[in-house]
Amino acid sequence: MSELRFDGKVVAITGAGQGVGRAYALAFARRGAKIVANDLAEEALDALVRQIGEEGGEAIAHRTSIATAEGGESLTAAALDAWGRIDVLIHNAGILRDATFAKLAPEQLEAVMAVHLLGAFHTAQPAFRWMKENGGGRILLTSSASGLFGNFGQSNYAAAKLGMVGLVRVLALEGIKYGIHSNAISPYANSGLTGGDMSDDALLSPANIAPTALVLCHGDCPSNGEIYQTAAGWTGRVVIGLTEGYALTDKKSPEELFAHWEAVRSSPTHELATAKDLVGVLKAKLGVDSLQ
């Protein structure tokens, strides 16, 4: 098939200074996109913009927090000021404030929600509004295995990341008639947050996540309102569905329902109880003993 190109497209990426966001920025730039790179890590951001320029691409730095409505608005404004359009919005920025639920402090909850979930609203809404009036575009929000499957000590992070799924479902419904496709990506990769090996040859390198983002943000991709788990070059769609269930004959009887509870809770293939269970599935899919 022909190469997936983004010539003439403007792509805005939050959290682009390092890790997965940096991998996205480089991948899109190398395929012709103009990049608005958002991050608060100034040195990393400057290095990224410089590298893209040295490779013949175009990029500008956006150093404003997207945890406020004004910050999110300014990201789209920066794209419009520089190039007059915004074709792709990727919200990738994130922080961790891990604590067990009993010990979680309000400020730990609020900080994570502000960057992840509110940041998604603040960045996606102005981009969505422009796309709605100008022929469409692509929005990619970042979920997580922690949000989809749960992870000990990450109630704040998991709630924010699953919130991305609900948001992206609504964006998909409201945007499709305007040519806006919205999806969620759940990347499992080493990053600045995890402290793992981010070199290009590492199995969990952020570079191995970029192909999925490129596909989901390309104008020919049909996906809309969907969730994709990706790691180490493997990608699979995460499905929210129903079991066969059980229909009560006596609709007022909890006893009858309890007697058939196993039918209600019957499991699909690869039911994951926690984010850690994903590691086992990935090892089997990739045929490796370790993901390090």
The residues annotated with a catalytic role in the active site are: 157
Return the SS3 of 190: coil
CA distance 268 to 246: 15
Closest C-alpha among 90, 53, 49, 124 to residue 62: 49
Pairing of strands 180-187, 137-142: parallel
Cβ atoms of residues 189 and 20 within 8 Å = yes
CA distance 119 to 228: 20
Return the SS3 of 287: coil
Distances (CA, A) of 228 to 165, 188, 231: 11, 11, 10
Would you mind telling me the total number of residues written for the chain in this entry?
A: 292
